[in-house]
Chain A
Amino acid sequence: MQLIDCPWCGPREETEFCYGGQAHVAYPADPAALTDTEWGHYVFFRDNVRGEWAERWRHSTGCRRWFNAVRDTLTHEFKAVYRLDDERPVLR
């Protein structure tokens, strides 16, 4: 069981968290202006990255706060955790 470093609570076991899918997918400013295809991509399509990718997590049985993380999908290693209003950190 991995440890996930909640930005508010510190490292906790992964069973305290819920996964929230890809990060930085903004809700469209004007959904009505989108074509069916564009809207369909927003609702149903997400990237499938090999390597580092930014995703959302929620500390569901802890502080219940959402946050973002950069994780390596090959190793599952968390490279960084950051708050929702932070930019995705640039890693070495």
Chain B
Amino acid sequence: MSDQHGTGSTGAPHRTAEGGRVDRTRTLTFEFGGETLTGHPGDTLASALLAAGRHHVASSIKLGRPRGIAAAWAEDHGGLVQVEQPFPEPMLLAATIELADGLVAHGLPGQGRLAPIPDTSRYDSSHLHVDVLVVGAGPAGLQAARVAARSGARVALVDDQSEAGGALLGSTDLVDGAPALQWVAEVTAELAAATEVTHLQRTTAFGSYDDGLVLAVERRTDHLGAQAPVEQARQRVWRIRARHVVVATGAHERPVVFSDNDRPGTMLAHAARTYLHRYGVLVGSRAVVFTTNDSAYAVAADLAAAGVEVTAVVDARPRAPQGWVDRLSDLGVEVRTGQVVVGTRATPDGDRVTHALVGPADGAPATEPEALACEALLLSGGWNPAVHLYSQSRGRLAYRDDLGAFVPAEELAGMTVVGSAGGVLDLAGCLEAGAAGAARALDRVGLATPAVAVPAAPADPADADGEAPVVLWSVPSPADPDGEVAFVDLQRDATVRDIARAVGAGMTNLEHIKRYTTIGTAHDQGKTSGIIASGIVAGMRGVPVAQSGTTTFRPPYTPVGFATLAGRDRGQLYDPVRTTATHAWHVEQGAVFEDVGQWKRARHYPQPGEDMEAAVLRECAAVRRGVGILDGSTLGKIDVQGPDAGELMDRVYTNLMSSLKPGRVRYGVMCGDDGMVLDDGTVMRLAEDRFLVMTTTGGAAHVLDWMEEWLQTEWTDLAVSLTSVTEQWATFPVVGPRSRDVVAALFPDVDVSAEGFGFMTWQDATLGGVPVRLARISFSGELAFEVSVSSWYAQPVWDQIVAAGHPHGLTPYGTETMHVLRAEKGYPIIGQDTDGTITPQDLGMDWVVSKKKTHFVGKRSFTRADTARADRKHLVGLLPTDRETVLPEGSQIIDFREDGVLPPPPVAMRGHVTSSYRSAELGRPFALALLESGRDRVGQTVHVPVGDTLVAVEVSSPVLVDPEGARRDG
């Protein structure tokens, strides 16, 4: 990893001579904003840009102010970029993009652009079940994972960076007397060798849900750029179900707000340290460090040691830690106590900070602030524990005054928060906390904790005389008293003044202030700004920060692409497609299909030059005058067996089914408890103890569940079993006046006469040695025979029927024709002509409701006052008097208007059109409708608004073709 050549790269003047985790033996070329630059494997886009001296990468969304890289990972609120190559992706942080050869990107003005081309990358998902999930591979997480792994538990460790180590990657810490990364390597090697451990880097746990479910996204190939293997999933969503979760997600440093705090070159202090130690990059040649706590002193010392001219450490506290003051004094760095940064100056184009303006911390700057020259202004306002996953799991937070931060206030049943995420900010404490967290997790899952030594990590000697931090949210500036350019949320260009306005408008709840100011609603979801906003609000309202609180943390922790979440569930795999056994034949015939639930059904079979209307008129005429065939295999079929099968049928159907003889078929309607029609269909009695229930295509699953519910929860005494046989049977209605000729030709042994094969009866037969079931059922009013056969033999049986029908002009017809034919006969489709508020009586089907049965589901509701009303909506037919208009389904029906003009609203709506078609048989369009007191209005004219005109329609009986039923026997 160390540099073999010992010189900074060309075009990367801020790369150190040596050190860091980048591979200096290899050079990567990339393009940013039209400029060709170089970096090394191990760089992020941000580190490579900083190495080239580029801080200014973006501009702000509302004000267009220059913005720069402000952090070294996901908490950055400045370095927002768009990637163009290898694939366009908007709204990414330069600090989290691993550099790849050929990367092309540019900065964004707050908003990006989605790819105009389809994403051909693969995404997938995987389930993982573990005893202990550790989130975060910093010191606490690694120690926790090691202890958990040694117990024999099944463990997962996920971490969002390219390599394990967390904060250790950007520090000079020692563990057990050696560089900390040696310890990291030792632990990761041990985890890699453990068989029950899954260790995933580049994997962000972005959401924590109920019962130990954590979702994480693994970036598998992004770091490979254009070299990513196409066959490998680019990103993977891990659905990790853990018996116990150890959250070791660390803490985010937070800035202090002051005027012009958004100048490029202004960044979090420890980000600068990370860029130095991890990436070998100096963020500037001259720096000012502004701090409220001891942690930033190590930053100043490391930068000074690396050759950066640290102009001053500006400490808001009255006293600085003496050990660090001495250390910095040796390095020639001045420490100013009791001072704060109140503003900045920048280059004329705003490209880079040039000065930090410093004044006294006592809040009464009497004199002109002093200007300290710098190229980098490094801020440390304290640390915010990354409590996102804990808070998403509804863990309560408590404000700790000493830290100026919200920390977990309770131990959740399935989650333990350790290390910096729990408010422990020293290395030794984090290692200790990791071990203790693992012990707690193992105890919760019932495993013994093995004895594992906690490695030694003594504090820096300079920390010996530590000073307590102060909490400082924002600093007033004499030049900007309202805080107009004191940015709280840089991504939203939201300022201290915006908060003052919200509070001034009377808002006290942080959720309201968030929405009013938009603070915390941008890409970073307030990782750095949320708690500062809470602190500023508390100050303005004069209440404790604890009372101001936080807004709710919600997943995802960092943005996740929709394509990633969709995974493989797209295109053909989005939803199952169900096809009938003869689907290929319909495709060959050029059928147009429609989706009915998950089923593909042939809607019509257009011949050359035909549109749907022409095809359907032709198919309808063929069925009414000759013979047609339909693939009706999608109808739901439920095999009902058992000694009490007849009793069950009587209880769920409104009519008497138990009196049905084997060999016969009966139409029935099912209602809910409320008396409203649930489903309808025919019932065949196959034997004394066996029925075959036919349901609507869409109602099949629900009817099975419905009957099952009654059997399991109420009628446990009934001995009946139910089995879906929808897919086992193919059903082909052969329909029309000439259907008898076709069936007679196919089944010479069957007496197909009206007397020999009565309406609503069924018989067994064979066709070419294949057993089939024939039934005289009609959904069109025409003579019809239904041929049912095992789906295995569906195609040959279909082929034989088609061949036998050829001399008779047998015409295949689709669902649209089926709909027209049934509507002409006034047969409702449950769910189209009904909507859950319609009784059998509303449909004009009193005849299907048994008067004899003492009980069936829904019976009691028929005598409820509302159900018995005379002015309920009835199913009727509608005939447009112009004989031309096909009423749009869903059209409203209003009373007849003499003037033919739609009155101003409100207009009383009397009902609506439920089905509407052009009828070949009637030679005109017609419709079915639900109309108030409809049966009493037959013969009257009402109006249907269609567009800007009122269409006059005559109300009729719903049965418009063959009302006498003369055709059913041929």
Contacts and interface: CB of A to CB of B under 8 A. Distances in A.
Contacts of B241: 3
Given A1-B213, A64-B708, A39 B861 contact: yes
Interface string B202-215: 00000001110100
Interface stretch (B41-49, B471-479, B636-644, B709-717): B709-717
A69 to B, nearest CB: 14
Given A39-B864, A43-B673, A66 B211 contact: no
Contact of B864 (A40, A60, A65, A66): A40
B211 A56 contact: no
B659 to A, nearest CB: 22
Contacts of B673: 42-43
Contacts of B674: 43-44
Secondary structure call for the A interface: mixed
Contact of A34 (B211, B709, B860): B860
Interface in B664-681: 673-674
A43 B708 CA distance: 19
A11 to B, nearest CB: 8
A6 B210 CA distance: 17
A1 B713 CA distance: 27
Contacts of A31: 855, 859-860
A36 B209 contact: no
B613 interface: no
B861 A2 contact: no
Nearest to B673: A43
A87 to B, nearest CB: 15
A60 B702 CA distance: 11
B326 interface: no
B712 A84 contact: yes
A45 interface: no
Contacts of A42: 673
B855 A66 contact: no
Contact of B210 (A2, A18, A27): A2
A58 interface: yes
Interface in A23-42: 27, 31-32, 34, 36, 39-40, 42
B864 A76 contact: no
B705 interface: yes
A58 B241 CA distance: 22
Interface in A43-92: 43-44, 56, 58, 60, 64-66, 76, 84-85
A3 B855 contact: no
B712 A66 contact: yes
Contacts of B713: 56, 66, 84
B453 interface: no
A36 B864 CA distance: 6
- Residues of B in contact with A, size category: 20 to 34
B505 interface: no
Contacts of B705: 18, 58, 60
Given A1-B213, A2-B210, A58 B860 contact: no
Contacts of B63: none
B865 A36 contact: yes
Contacts, number: 46
Nearest to A14: B210
For chain A, the bracket of interface size reads 20 to 34
A32 B210 contact: no
A2 B211 contact: yes
A66 B865 contact: no
Nearest to A75: B394
A32 B213 contact: no
A3 B211 contact: yes
A43 B863 CA distance: 14
Contacts of A64: 708
Contacts of B863: 36
A66 B709 CA distance: 7
A73 to B, nearest CB: 15
A1 B861 contact: no
Contact of A43 (B209, B210, B861, B865): B861
Contacts of B854: 32
B860 A39 contact: yes
Interface in B537-575: none
A65 B861 contact: no
A32 B709 CA distance: 22
Nearest to A36: B864
A37 B876 CA distance: 31
B335 to A, nearest CB: 51
A29 to B, nearest CB: 10
Nearest to B712: A66
Contacts of B708: 64
A76 B393 CA distance: 13
B140 to A, nearest CB: 27
Contacts of B860: 31-32, 34, 39
Contacts of A76: 210
A90 B588 CA distance: 64
Interface string B846-871: 00000000110001110111000000
Contact of B709 (A1, A40, A43, A58): A58
A4 to B, nearest CB: 9
A65 B713 CA distance: 10
A1 B210 contact: yes
Contacts of B714: 27
Interface string B224-252: 00000000000000000100000000000
Interface string B712-736: 1110100000000000000000000
A20 to B, nearest CB: 8
B240 to A, nearest CB: 12
A49 to B, nearest CB: 20
Interface string A9-27: 0000000001010000001
Contact of B712 (A18, A60, A65): A65
A86 to B, nearest CB: 13
Nearest to B674: A43
Contacts of A32: 854-855, 859-860
A76 B709 CA distance: 24
A66 B674 CA distance: 22
A28 B854 CA distance: 14
Contacts of B716: 84-85
A36 to B, nearest CB: 5
Nearest to B211: A3
A77 to B, nearest CB: 9
**Which 3 A-B pairs give the minimum distances between C-beta atoms?**
A31-B860, A2-B210, A3-B211
28 contacts: A1-B209, A1-B211, A1-B213, A2-B211, A3-B211, A18-B705, A20-B709, A31-B855, A31-B859, A32-B854, A32-B859, A34-B860, A36-B863, A36-B864, A36-B865, A39-B860, A39-B861, A39-B864, A42-B673, A43-B674, A44-B674, A58-B705, A60-B705, A64-B708, A65-B712, A66-B712, A76-B210, A84-B716
Interface of A: 1-3, 18, 20, 27, 31-32, 34, 36, 39-40, 42-44, 56, 58, 60, 64-66, 76, 84-85
Interface of B: 209-211, 213, 241, 673-674, 705, 708-709, 712-714, 716, 854-855, 859-861, 863-865
Given A32-B859, A32-B860, A66-B713, 6 more contacts: A1-B210, A1-B213, A2-B211, A36-B865, A76-B210, A85-B716
